[in-house]
A and B are shown apart, each in its own frame.
Chain A
């Protein structure tokens, strides 16, 4: 492990390019080992080199260490003017975003030269981890409401699963008012009546978008802290960019990173220290002290060092609004874990699983009836061709000639009477299909008991 410094004595070393050194995940093995042994990472904004074929170090860090919940608190700060502060509408929102799954796996393929496909993972245990965290947190902070944002009306299987788990967990918290809102409606309500909401939990992409929207409600990303919570490792970070245009000028606003740091202090039990610093920050903002990016433009802007110095001078003072009670520090929460193997998270399989067919994604420029004729010629009599869709819309056996086609069809072949079939039989179907088409992809049709594990085509 590298030496330990008090920060003010730590020498800055510049110019070591982690990616250029060949560490494509953006961290050295020593860094990974240190973080895994300490359990807590406090991080500034990071750049992902563009066009070098590397993935975002921010996303890699969250995913590698399974920080399944991204918690972001958006609260009115007196001294930071927004549309809502001017209207006298107070904001106190906590967004909990699932942090691992969804389209963030980045599992994407070109099926034909025209057609790209992204896979979206939503899992029961993954959803349960983040939803359970949200309920626990909401209960601890005495929330009046917890809301699930989703698009389960369209994504019935994926968001449907997330929503199902939300209401399952809700049963264990009868004192919390739990409800759900479709995400587009949620966004409209958040920009008109943000004070109606308290804790909101969402899947990854929707949560990503809604949390930046909420940052806008309270003055921008410069005032938005972020905590990535996992069972073993937690990351506290500023989510704004690296602002290379003002780098080295000592004029950046450190508030978001400071608020994230205060979440870190509370997380490890340093409640008293966190409250004292928070009060000094609130007092400083109320007094009109500001960096150049916010506040009353008629007042002179402080640079980063002067802004922090002002907060230091205000330690021990109490703000007029939202003063934090000076709780005692708790014993420091241990954060060092040793794992011998990767934890497997899974739920109990309650129903008998069976395969009843497959969706074949095939490349074709032909009309739907011709595609169907080719499949039906010589199809194993155990199976039916049930539907053919193009971009999710059914075009066979019924459809409309007004539906535009791309050069890739999804052909659903099911066993008659949903009789169970073997993978061997699916392989035989594949061999049948590949004689007449290029098969781009295949997805098994599974059932659990009487419940289908696949969605119907639009119009089916």
Chain B
């Protein structure tokens, strides 16, 4: 299953990367599609 990911601005990319690395380590069966959104976009 795919979900859209907007990592956000400021600390957004750091905490998003952290959370998704935890999901990957726990074997969460999701795939992530990055989207261009917010001040910084992708």
Contacts and interface: CB of A to CB of B under 8 A. Distances in A.
A1 interface: yes
Given A43-B5, A252-B11, A5 B37 contact: no
A238 to B, nearest CB: 7
Contacts of A304: 14-15, 18
B37 to A, nearest CB: 4
A331 B36 CA distance: 30
Interface in A265-297: 265, 268, 270, 273, 276-277, 280
Contact of A252 (B14, B21, B27): B14
Nearest to B26: A277
Interface in B13-36: 13-36
Contact of B17 (A1, A7, A34): A7
A308 B19 contact: yes
A242 B32 contact: no
Interface string A244-273: 101110101110011001001100101001
A257 B19 contact: yes
A57 B23 CA distance: 26
Nearest to B20: A7
A247 B11 contact: yes
A19 B19 CA distance: 26
Interface in A5-29: 5-8, 10, 12-19, 21, 26-28
Contacts of B23: 7, 261, 265, 273, 277
A19 B39 contact: yes
Q: Interface size for chain B: under 10, 10 to 19, 20 to 34, or 35 or more residues?
A: 35 or more
Interface residues of A, number: 70
B36 A31 contact: yes
A45 B9 contact: yes
Nearest to B8: A44
A41 interface: yes
Contacts of B38: 18, 26-27, 43-44, 46-47, 57
Given A6-B24, A7-B20, A17 B3 contact: no
Nearest to B39: A47
Given A17-B41, A268-B30, A335-B1, 6 more contacts: A2-B34, A47-B39, A244-B11, A265-B23, A308-B19, A332-B1
11 contacts: A7-B5, A7-B17, A26-B37, A41-B35, A46-B12, A46-B38, A48-B39, A258-B22, A261-B19, A268-B3, A312-B21
Interface of B: 1-42
